[in-house]
């Protein structure tokens, strides 16, 4: 289910971190999605989208922080 999200990440480190985050949270978030959507496939799709969006948002935040810190040090 998470393989699509893992495929677009740039490094093995990013893929491993997302995989761990997914393993730790998938059951709880899947149950929530299923309770709202009442369909297994839709819940799985929503779960994958949610994880991908969370991860991409974290990457953007980290890049902005890195860029801001680089500008301050320079």
> Measured between alpha carbons, how far is 39 from 7 in angstroms, rounded to an integer?
25
pLDDT tens digits for range 10-62? 788 878 887 888 899 999 999 999 999 999 999 999 998 988 888 788 878 87
pLDDT band for position 3 (cuts 50, 70, 90): low
Amino acid 6: pLDDT: 65
Domain ranges of the chain: 3-73
Amino acid 39: pLDDT: 98
Amino acid 10: pLDDT: 72
> Measured between alpha carbons, how far is 40 from 63 in angstroms, rounded to an integer?
35
Amino acid 58: pLDDT: 81
In sign, the C-alpha dihedral spanning 21, 24, 26, 29 is negative
Secondary structure (3-state) at 34: helix
Burial class (CB in 10 A: 0-12, 13-18, 19+), 67: exposed
Amino acid 28: pLDDT: 95
């Amino acid at each position: 289910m998470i393989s699509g999200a893992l495929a677009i990440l740039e490094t093995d480190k990013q893929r491993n971190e997302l995989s761990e985050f997914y393993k730790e949270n998938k059951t709880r978030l899947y149950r929530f999605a299923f309770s709202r959507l009442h369909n297994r496939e839709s819940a799985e799709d929503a779960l994958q989208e949610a994880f991908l969006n969370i991860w991409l948002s974290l990457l953007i935040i980290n890049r902005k922080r890195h860029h801001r810190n680089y500008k301050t040090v320079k």
